[in-house]
Amino acid sequence: MSSPAERPPGADLPSPAASPPSLTEVETHGVDRIPDAERTATPLDLFRLAFGGANTFSTCVLGAFPILFGLSFRQGLAATLLGVVAGALILCPMAVFGPVNGTNNAVSSSAHLGVHGRVVGSFLSLLTAVAFFSISVWSSGDALVGGAHRLFGLDRSDLSYAVAYAAFAVLVLAVCVYGFRFMLFVNKIAVISASALFLLGAVAFAGDFDPSYAGVFTDSADAATTALFWPSFIGAALIVLSNPVSFGAFLGDWSRYIPASTSRRKVMGAAFLSQLATLLPFLFGLTTASIIADKAPQYVDPAAPDFVGGLLAISPGWFFLPVCLLALIGGMATGTTALYGTGLDFSSVFPRLSRVQATLLVGTLSTGFIFAGRFGLDLVRSISTFATVIITCTTPWMVVMMLGYWTRRGWYDPEALQVFNRRQRGGRYWFAHGWNWRGMTAWWISALTGVLFTNMPGQFVGPLGDLANGVDIGLPVSLVVAAVLFLTLLWLFPEPRAVYGPEGARLARTVEAPVPPITGPGAEGALSDPSARLPA
């Protein structure tokens, strides 16, 4: 269990029990703090949402990348394990902010980037949602149309794909509009049904699978090919890693319904195990891609890869219907987990919009991006680059959040976190006109450094991308720079003592400074701790 210092003010007060609202009741909460009486979710619910959102066909597509990069099955397995475990370790601490503060992670970032600096998290979550929602809809829509073509002779025309994409978008938006409970229900179904279908796939392809698939990096490979092994291995691992890390901005959207008194280890454990469980779809993608590379190599041509087409080409006839079901279930699960949180957060960035209106707006814009990428701009081939660059920028933000949580011993002032959402000014996290330049500086410098070192051959190579002999070290570099720079800035330029709570700072210096009073709409009594009005 967490210590008292790790709990927000008022978290220990008893609250009346409440039963969960019905599935068809439209959620009314935005990013305001969830009342204690309404926090009825559990770490198991968090596991179901995080795993259900990734136990999908789009994750299979990401799992195919090690084979597309020329790795053998065993090399691809090693890259996949490395990416999933490393990504899960990076991700799991981001689950604790929701129970502590009762709000989403972008709002919680106000404590470390400032009242106004929290918009960085909102912007990153929007880009991440668009990227992974697009991967989900493109892959699931293509699989659904391809399966229907093989089963019923449906014409694979642009109109068929457009109808499939639009249908997915409407279904996803409907779930997101109803809110958290309905989304949890959908993901409970997705966890069980998709897992069963993936296991059924193991039966379908068991006779064709050969774990000795060698890839292109064999003993007979020429020197030029051999030199590409480590860039390909690291690149494949980073693409796999991008999947768990992509949930960093969204975990608080779901964990905020978990009671504040819940053990932090259980919450983090649920997030970690949810990503380990995604080895099921990742290995399905890796295994089937190795079969495609052996039996239908034209579908894994690096110049024009088509995993979905290859999967349908090698599937036995009886597995076409399960492929369609996987596409439908997966598109729903991934789409809802991506768009729900972004719509939720943008209702606070643009206060004229309710949560429902913001969700519809973000969903409509994302759908437009999907159609433009599929039929106009040919963005499908470069979506891996888009996702990699976004993750390279998001991970340093997560590092700042996690180190901030650690240095402050998990103590936050929930009322001060809501200043931006209420269009107020002042409070513990006002810093310099609403910006904490320490966290902001650590984030943008490390994100920029990571992008400069990014190396995605044929798509995007940063100015410093070739310094590691073609290996993409953008993400590891950004992680290290963010950690070192943020802790250094906290030591050289101490933050006000008041932001650290009763037990003081850990591995950081502080300075005595008055906390500006919260002013603006509804500011009377807004401070949760009267001592916040005085110098700490």
Residue showing tokens 């969204």: 250
Structural domains of the chain, count: 1
pLDDT at 333: 74
Query: What's the domain range around 265?
Result: 39-511
Reported pTM: 0.84
What 197-200 contacts at long range (C-beta under 8 Å, 24+ apart), as own/partner pairs, is 197/322, 197/325, 197/326, 197/329, 198/55, 198/280, 198/281, 198/284, 198/326, 199/280, 200/319, 200/322
Query: d(Cα 147, Cα 153) in Å, to the nearest integer?
Result: 9
**pLDDT, one tens digit for every residue, the chain (536 residues):** 344 444 444 444 444 444 555 555 555 566 778 888 889 899 999 998 889 888 888 888 889 999 998 999 999 999 999 999 999 999 999 999 999 999 989 899 999 999 999 999 888 888 887 777 777 777 778 878 888 888 888 888 888 888 888 887 788 777 777 766 777 777 777 788 889 999 999 999 999 999 999 999 998 888 888 988 998 899 899 889 988 998 888 888 889 999 999 999 999 999 999 999 999 999 999 999 999 999 998 888 776 677 888 888 899 988 888 888 887 777 777 777 777 766 666 766 776 777 777 778 877 877 777 777 666 655 545 666 777 788 889 999 999 999 999 999 999 999 999 998 888 999 999 999 999 999 999 999 999 999 999 987 777 888 998 888 888 889 999 999 999 999 999 999 999 999 998 999 998 999 999 999 999 887 664 444 433 333 33
What is 374-430 written as a DSSP string? Answer: HHTS--GGGHHHHHHHHHHHHHHHHHHHHHHHHHTTT---HHHHTTTTTT-B-STT-
Check which CATH number belongs to the domain holding 385 and give it: 1.10.4160.10
Token pair, residue 446, equals 């490390």
Pick from 533, 459, 449: nearest CA to 485: 449
457 within domain boundaries:
yes
Token pair, residue 35, equals 């009342």
Token pair, residue 390, equals 């976004």
pLDDT at 179: 64
Determine which helix (DSSP H) or strand (DSSP E) holds 529, and give its type and residue range.
none
Query: d(Cα 502, Cα 505) in Å, to the nearest integer?
Result: 9
Query: Which residues are CB-neighbours of 239 under 8 A, at least 6 positions away?
Result: 62, 65, 83, 384, 387, 388
64 within domain boundaries:
yes
517 within domain boundaries:
no
DSSP 456: E
| Cβ atoms within 10 Å of 37's Cβ, excluding its own | 12
State the alpha helices, DSSP H only, in 179-296: 180-205, 223-226, 229-245, 251-255, 264-276, 279-295
The answer to whether 53 and 336 have CB atoms below 8 angstroms apart is yes
239 within domain boundaries:
yes
Residue showing tokens 């680059």: 385
5 within domain boundaries:
no
7 within domain boundaries:
no
Query: Which residues are CB-neighbours of 519 under 8 A, at least 6 positions away?
Result: 424, 425, 426
22 within domain boundaries:
no
Measured between alpha carbons, how far is residue 10 from residues 15, 33, 404 in Å? 10, 12, 21
Token pair, residue 347, equals 């209702």
The answer to whether 181 and 303 have CB atoms below 8 angstroms apart is no
What is the CA 19 to chain-centroid distance, rounded? 29
525 within domain boundaries:
no
Task: Give SS3 for 522.
Answer: coil
Task: Give SS3 for 14.
Answer: coil
